[in-house]
């Protein structure tokens, strides 16, 4: 009963949807039309980006309302959400995950580390940025990127 | 007589079309209700249809070293769901397929679909596929007897295991719904419906944690059109089981033999309203509950089996009074 009161009192926490983001969408995204499933791959991140992705799919930003959803298997996914610089241990798993995604497939590099290795550039355990391992279709800058920026990148793919 | 057959035929066709088109919408409605209760905006009721449309256009993949069980599983699952959707008395009890609407046939068809999917999961040879299949079969072994026994409690007074006949008897005498046997059977059947369709507290349909998955773990390797078939079939099974729950325990509005086109229309509306209401009730219940630990699930299902057994006993001992 106390949970029921809490639900009544809290009401809606989701913020009103911002304007649809402008910008070029990758051509493959046109075929998905309002439904994009994401598989998140942590290629060696410090978990800062993970917190922000969790927040983007949380109640406040609610990325699910634009037709984006996180799934448990790359076979169910349309796009990969890759965070962190690609470490030596994650190079092969990332490539295999990419190959397991059925066509048409997309890759979003989330965070500065995924784009250009960030502060980890040149470290001995780092194999390279995400674009050195798999083709990248969209990037989200920031260290860590704000949930709004992640949601905007997701919305460019879902087109909603 | 031919007019009767015509209206029965139309009712059956309408019922199948309604389940095919409505099942993803029911899932969307339940997700939307959950989203609103959690303070989110939600993706909208038609979102599962958008997902299916997209999946149908994706490339099907086949993992290395998989054979015919993996390829056939989605077809068998969807096929059995379609047959069950055609024979179960949801809109009308005067269906031309009435003779197939037998309790044993329907339970066996549902089990056939589940077993086909479990074999498909095993065929991938991955750890999660096998784990999901073993869990699904554990749940299935506890669910099927409960479905049979709880509907037995209702079939005692109808004198037949035909689902249409049971619904007819209940509709002729609605006060029977409040008899102890019927109430016990309703609770037992509601619990196994939740277990069979993989909802909270038995399974979480939106989990990303492989270790807690039951249904999801088996379908991790499917993609594209195969996955679309499986998702549609899961939604259709949920719709049919909720609809059956509605027809057995809230039989108002179900068209019977010898009634005209208007009764069929009322049947369609009643089925849609009842199923949506039960779905919303289930979704609201899920918000208030956490998933049970896997080893507690047999206790829950054993409890529901006990209720079903009590329902059968009650329907025999109280047969004179009721």
CA–CA gap between residue B60 and residue A149 (Å, rounded): 32
Considering only CB atoms, B224 lies closest to which of A31, A35, A102, namely A102
Strands A126-128 and A36-42: unpaired
Asked whether residue A15 is domain-assigned, the answer is no
Considering only CB atoms, B41 lies closest to which of A31, A62, A103, namely A62
Report whether pLDDT(A11) > 90: no
Instruction: Write the pLDDT tens digit of every residue in B163-221.
Output: 888 888 888 888 888 888 889 999 999 999 999 888 888 888 888 777 788 888 899 99
Asked whether residue A1 is domain-assigned, the answer is no
Banded model confidence at residue A20, pLDDT cuts 50, 70, 90: confident
Buried b (16+ CB within 10 A) or exposed e, B39-56: bbbbbbbebbbbbbbbbe
Asked whether residue B108 is domain-assigned, the answer is yes
Q: Can you give the residue range of the structural domain that contains A118? A: 34-158
Distance (Å) of CA B200 to CA A109, A131, B88: 34, 40, 25
Q: Can you give the residue range of the structural domain that contains B97? A: 2-317
Between chains, do B50 and A33 touch, taking CB under 8 Å as contact? yes
Asked whether residue A23 is domain-assigned, the answer is no
Taking only residues 129 to 158 of chain A, the set having a beta carbon closer than 8 angstroms to any beta carbon of chain B reads none
Asked whether residue A150 is domain-assigned, the answer is yes
Domain count, chain A: 1
B60 lies within 8 A of chain A by CB: yes
In terms of C-beta density within 10 A (0-12 exposed, 13-18 middle, 19 or more buried), how is residue B67 classed?
Answer: exposed
In terms of C-beta density within 10 A (0-12 exposed, 13-18 middle, 19 or more buried), how is residue A156 classed?
Answer: buried
Asked whether residue B322 is domain-assigned, the answer is no
Asked whether residue A63 is domain-assigned, the answer is yes
Between chains, do A35 and B35 touch, taking CB under 8 Å as contact? no
Interface-testing mutation among A36, A76, A103, with chain B (most B C-beta atoms within 10 A)? A76
Neighboring chain B residues of A3 at a CB cutoff of 8 Å: 288
CA–CA gap between residue B261 and residue B11 (Å, rounded): 9
Tokens of B250: 């809230």
Considering only CB atoms, A72 lies closest to which of B35, B216, B288, namely B216
Banded model confidence at residue B2, pLDDT cuts 50, 70, 90: low
Asked whether residue B69 is domain-assigned, the answer is yes
Considering only CB atoms, A14 lies closest to which of B40, B59, B210, namely B40
Report whether pLDDT(B26) > 90: yes
DSSP for B21-90, written as a single string? HHHHHHHHHHHHHHHHHTT-----TTHHHHHHHHHHTSPP---TT--HHHHHHHHHHHHHHHHHHHHS-S
Instruction: Write the pLDDT tens digit of every residue in A107-122.
Output: 999 999 999 998 998 8
Q: How many residue contacts between A and B have a Cβ separation below 8 Å? A: 89
Helices B103-123 and B224-249: crossing angle, nearest 10°? Answer: 150
CA–CA gap between residue B122 and residue B125 (Å, rounded): 6
| Of the candidates B206, B238, B215, B208, the residue with the CA atom closest to the CA atom of residue B51 | B206
Report whether pLDDT(B279) > 80: yes
Taking only residues 286 to 305 of chain B, the set having a beta carbon closer than 8 angstroms to any beta carbon of chain A reads 287-288
B127 lies within 8 A of chain A by CB: no
Domain count, chain B: 1
Neighboring chain B residues of A79 at a CB cutoff of 8 Å: none
> Which residues is A69 bridged to in the sheet?
A37
CATH code, domain carrying A53 = 3.40.50.12280
Instruction: Write the pLDDT tens digit of every residue in B68-98.
Output: 999 999 999 999 999 999 999 888 888 888 8
């Amino acid at each position: 009963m106390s949970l029921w009161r809490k639900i009544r009192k809290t009401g809606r926490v989701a913020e009103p949807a911002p304007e649809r983001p402008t910008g070029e969408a990758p051509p493959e995204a046109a075929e998905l039309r309002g439904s994009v499933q994401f598989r998140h791959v942590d290629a060696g991140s410090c978990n800062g980006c993970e917190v922000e992705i969790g927040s983007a799919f949380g109640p406040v930003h609610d990325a699910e309302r634009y037709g984006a959803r996180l799934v448990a298997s790359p076979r169910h996914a349309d796009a990969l959400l890759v965070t962190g610089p690609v470490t030596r241990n994650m190079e092969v798993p990332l490539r295999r995950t990419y190959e397991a995604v059925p066509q048409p497939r997309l890759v979003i590099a989330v965070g500065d580390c995924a784009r250009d290795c960030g502060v980890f550039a040149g470290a001995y355990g780092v194999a390279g940025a995400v674009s050195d391992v798999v083709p990248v279709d969209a990037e989200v800058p920031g260290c860590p990127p704000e949930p709004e920026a992640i949601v905007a990148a997701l919305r460019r793919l879902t087109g909603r | 007589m031919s007019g009767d057959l015509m209206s029965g035929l139309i009712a059956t066709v309408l019922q199948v079309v309604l389940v095919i088109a409505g099942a993803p919408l029911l899932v969307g409605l339940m997700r939307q209700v959950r989203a609103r209760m959690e303070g989110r905006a939600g993706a909208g009721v038609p979102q599962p249809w958008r997902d299916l449309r997209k999946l149908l256009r994706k490339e099907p993949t086949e993992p290395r070293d998989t054979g015919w069980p993996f390829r056939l599983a989605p077809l068998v699952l969807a096929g059995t769901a379609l047959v069950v959707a055609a024979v179960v008395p949801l809109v009308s009890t005067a269906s031309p397929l009435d003779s197939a609407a037998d309790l044993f046939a329907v339970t066996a068809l549902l089990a056939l679909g589940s077993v086909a999917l479990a074999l498909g999961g095993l065929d991938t040879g991955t750890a999660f596929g096998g784990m999901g299949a073993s869990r699904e079969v554990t749940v299935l072994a506890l669910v099927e007897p409960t479905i049979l026994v709880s509907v037995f409690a209702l079939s005692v007074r109808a004198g037949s295991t035909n689902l249409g006949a049971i619904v007819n008897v209940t509709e002729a005498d609605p006060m029977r719904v409040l008899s102890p046997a019927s109430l016990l059977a309703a609770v037992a059947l509601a619990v196994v419906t939740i277990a069979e369709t993989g909802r909270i507290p038995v399974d979480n349909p939106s989990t990303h944690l492989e270790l807690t998955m039951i249904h999801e773990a088996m379908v991790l390797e499917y993609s594209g059109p195969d996955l679309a078939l499986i998702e549609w079939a899961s939604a259709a099974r949920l719709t049919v089981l909720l609809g059956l729950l509605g027809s057995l325990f809230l039989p108002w509005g179900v068209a019977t033999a010898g009634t005209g086109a208007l009764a069929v229309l009322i049947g369609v509306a009643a089925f849609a309203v009842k199923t949506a209401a039960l779905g919303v009730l289930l979704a609201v219940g899920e918000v208030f509950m956490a998933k049970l630990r896997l080893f507690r699930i047999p206790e829950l299902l054993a409890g529901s089996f006990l209720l079903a057994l009590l329902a059968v006993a009650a329907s025999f001992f109280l047969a004179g009074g009721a």
